[in-house]
Structure 1
Amino acid sequence: MSDTSHEPTAPQAAPPPGAPAAPRVRRFASARSRSLLGALFLMATSAIGPGFITQTATFTQQLGAAFAFGILVSILLDLAVQMNVWRMITLTGKRASVLANDALPGSGYVLAVLIVLGGLIFNIGNTAGAGLGMNALFGIDPRLGGALSAAVAIAIFLAKRAGAVVDRVVIVAGLVMIVLTVIVMIMSDPPVGDALKQTVLPDTINFATITTIVGGTVGGYITYAGAHKLLDSGTAGPENVREVNRAAVSGIIVTGIMRYVLFLAILGVVASGVVLDVTGNPAGDAFGAAAGETGLRIFGAVFWIAAITSVIGAAYTSVSFLPVFSARITGRTADLWTVGFIVVSLAVYLAIGTAPATLLVFVGGVNGLILPIGLTLFMYIGWFRGSLLGSTRYPRWLLVVGSLATVVTWYMAVNAVGPIFDLLSA
């Protein structure tokens, strides 16, 4: 992604005698701060896309308060995954596919193919979600809404300083989405005590559900979205480890709060006896039941914001894996590839007949199956190819946590393959 606003990445040279240095330093600090926030919110809004919102409504209808346990697991896995992946990528200054190739020749190409294919599937779902959001907001046909939303995303990547535009869009959009969802949560009056209890002591545990929700919040491209954005902003090297850790943890806290708030908003509706149509637009039903016509419009805004930011995140991150195949895919050329990625996603969405809600649940499951493959590669790097991470000693406790997360994601993926693909025939 071309973005000259984030350069230079090294400390500024001393200004000539008499030149005002302070404004230049302030501009650099402001750009750096915005890039960190941009990476944080790119990961957060990608993790709280239309797929997650639809999955939350679907699974809350099916499991009730017990779904809180799935959200807790997703947050814990998120911490283990993101802190390892962000740290390794920014320590080396290399994208995930390049780092994987250095550690195990050829594995980076495999990872890139999986992420791009998973990102494409995800983006088809994101485009469908944008269409649903536009339908709830303005009553227009979802396919037309998807096309208009894709046009908005394309315009962002065609902007002269696309990187800076993306930073601002995802930060503002993420904050608006949180505020609107909190309003609906308050209006739905959820049983908070039962939700808190079942967060740690659930009545039931469903592996397919947890794998799908993990895939929709940290699987596939989402794992690498924030880290690759940090690389593009120049935040790399051991000197930035503390900033990277802070951004990763802050992003996970933001996504964790948003996930739980959204769950509580929908739980309040389900607990009141309302039955959501899980094959139609379950999240829209929940928001409408909580706040009537106003709630439906709020849902449209939240869903569209979640979708358009996820379209941006999926397209940007998927294309960021392509330079492993050709060094020419960088800068402005990468922006054009990103536009092409969005166009292909839109074309496939318009061509298929799968119901958007079903598609949004399915894509999370598929990316949950991809997640353990990438995690295994990174754990291999941490345990056996530590020299690639530089002279800084990599924390063993972080590798242990990441390895445990890898085992859990493999176990869930193996147990969830059948149920996930059964969604397409449901």
Structure 2
Amino acid sequence: MNHTVNEKVRSRFLRGAIFLMATSAIGPAFLTQTAQFTERYLASFAFAILLSLIIDSGVQMNIWRVISVSGKRGQEIANELLPGLGYVIAALILFGGFAFNIANIGGAALGLNVLFNLPLAVGGLITAALTIGLFLFKRFGPVMDRVMQICGIVMLLMVGYVMFNSAPPVQEAAYRAFVPQDYMILLLPIVTIVGGTVGGYISFAGGHRLVDAGITGKENVKFVGRAASLGILTTGIMRVFLFLAVLGVVSAGYSLDENNPAATVFRVGLGDVGYYLFGLVLFVAAISSVIGCAYTSVSFLRSFHPVFAEKNNLFIAGFITISALIFLTIGQPVQLLILAGALNGLILPIVLTTILIASRKKSIVGDYHHPTALLLFGILTVLVTMGAGYIALEGIIELWNG
């Protein structure tokens, strides 16, 4: 697709890419982490959210623009820079994608358990059947875009409703976003939420969707930059809504259930109805993450052999099927999820460094000039995420051995 495409069609793909990226980031782990960190750090967690959004912007603006201008997916760019690197990145992202998809299917099953008291195994099967059904459509792209938009809007409205009902201390949160009580103790939550919103496959979700839609080339660069910004903004609004909802509950003196902290927020804010509302939000967040994870993870195979592109929907269905079978047979393997979390943090600086080098290679981006300010922002982000990844890896090793 090029500059001759009418604005209506481009806008449809814009919304699809935005919500694919945002809903991929907003999964069960997103809900749990935000609730836990808010209870621990109270209003000061606003600083971690603000800083993570700035880092997220540095990642997405660079990756989306270079991918779209080049018309190549992340693994293709990596292989051009260093033969074989694309295969390594693809393998790491696929492994992480499988691990997180098992958790996403588990989250959707838990949501159905809350709503309809279904056994987790039945909920997992229903989730797999629904998502596989979507990808078996001959032209699943537009259907996926619309489903992701609906999921994103439902989550924003519901969490926003709970936020207003919990009456959070907004002024204190705004102040602590710039003046937290302790900067250093917020390092770990910053590492965690950055990895959760732009780590692993998530950083490529929207960019690969635009490439698949054909929205590539220098003439679309401003459009793509706008899409990346809106994707981060959408995720940020959801994070802020959930943070304020939790802050309102814990500021009123309530303690969150350590096994299901996000559920407590909904129940306190809206009573028993809130608990069922939580089930719906959890299901929507999880099933949209299953879709985003499967689509983006399998997109890393498409350039390695024509069969992956020709039978793309079948490979996505297979990815979901394997994830569901693992969930049904051995549940959510904790060590696998821990290792996948570490990989997410470690993959990010590698892939971002690759993209930044590619932004200066004419063989990849042609005569496109990547803004120097964006390049410097990206380098700073690489340094921060490298340090963060090292700290996260130390913690992961302790957990693994412990």
- Name 1:369's counterpart in structure 2: 346
Conserved 8 A contact 1:90-1:236:
yes
Q: Counterparts of 2:338 and 2:271 in 1: how far apart (Å)? A: 25
Measure, in 2, the Cα distance between the counterparts of 1:236 and 1:182: 35
Aligned mate of 2:356, from 357, 364, 379: 379
- 2:402 is the alignment partner of 1:412: no
1:143 CA drift (Å): 3.2
How far apart, CA to CA, are the structure 2 residues paired with 1:300 and 1:107?
A: 41
1:317 has 2:302 as partner: no
Instruction: Give 1:62 shift.
Output: 2.1
Q: Superposition pairs for residues 15-94 of structure 1, below 5 Å?
A: 29-94=7-72
Find out whether 1:260 has 2:260 as its counterpart: no
**1:206-355 paired onto structure 2 within 5 Å:** 206-278=186-258, 280-331=259-310, 333-354=311-332
Change in CA separation of 1:355 and 1:199 when aligned onto 2, cut-off 3 Å: farther
Runs of 4 or more above 6 Å deviation:
358-362
Counterparts in 2 of 1:109-124, with a 5 A limit?
109-124=87-102
Instruction: State the Cα deviation string for residues 357-383 of structure 1 (Å, max 9, x = none).
Output: x98788555422321221121122235
Mapped partners of 2:255, 2:398: distance in 1? 22
Worse-superposed segment, 237-246 or 267-276: 267-276
Between 1:292-301 and 1:368-377, the stretch displaced more is 368-377
Cα distance, 1:113 vs. partner? Answer: 0.8
- For residue 177 of structure 1, report the CA deviation from its aligned partner: 1.0
1:150 to 1:353, Cα distance in 2 relative to 1, 3 A = closer
1:52 and 1:364 in contact (8 A); partners too: no
Greater shift in the superposed pair: 315-324 or 188-197? 188-197
Alignment check: 8 A CA contact 2:102 2:332 kept: no
Partner AA of 2:374 in structure 1: L
8 A Cα contact 1:129 1:360, kept in partner: no
Give the TM-score taking structure 2 as reference length: 0.94
Q: Distance in 2 between matches of 1:156 and 1:423?
A: 37
- How far apart are the structure 1 equivalents of 2:143 and 2:316? 15
Please report the RMSD computed on the Cα atoms of aligned residues, expressed in angstroms. 2.1
What is the identity percentage for the equivalent residue pairs of Structure 1 and Structure 2? Answer: 48
1:217-267 deviations in Å (ceiling 9; x for gaps): 110000000000001111001111111011111111111111101111111
Aligned residues of 1:211 and 1:365 also touching (Cα < 8 A): no
> Matched residue pairs, number?
400
Q: 1:371 to 1:238 in 2, by over 3 A?
A: same
Q: Any unmatched runs of 5+ in structure 1?
A: 1-8, 13-24
8 Å Cα contact 2:14/2:227 also seen in 1 = yes
- Normalized against structure 1, the TM-score is what? 0.88
Q: 1:267 to 1:421 in 2, by over 3 A?
A: farther
Rounded to whole Å, the distance in 2 between the matches of 1:424 and 1:288 is: 34
Q: Give the match's secondary structure for 1:150.
A: helix
Alpha-carbon distance between aligned partners in 2 of 1:370 and 1:348, rounded to the nearest angstrom: 24
Q: Quick one: structure 1 residues 89 and 320, their matched pair in 2 at CA, closer, same or farther if it must change by over 3 Å?
A: same
Q: What is aligned with 2:365?
A: 389
The offset of 1:339, in angstroms, is 0.6
Q: Tell me if structure 2 keeps the 8 A contact 1:86–1:227.
A: yes
User: Within 1, Cα distance between the matches of 2:3 and 2:58?
Assistant: 31
Change (3 A) 1:403 1:10: closer
How much has 1:142 moved relative to structure 2? 2.8
Task: Report the residue type matching 2:204 in the other structure.
Answer: Y
Alignment partners' CA distance in 2, 1:386 and 1:153: 40
Of residues 296-305 and 322-331 in structure 1, the stretch that sits farther from structure 2 once superposed is 322-331
Distance 1:160 1:380 in 2: 37
**Structure 2 equivalent of residue 5 of structure 1:** none
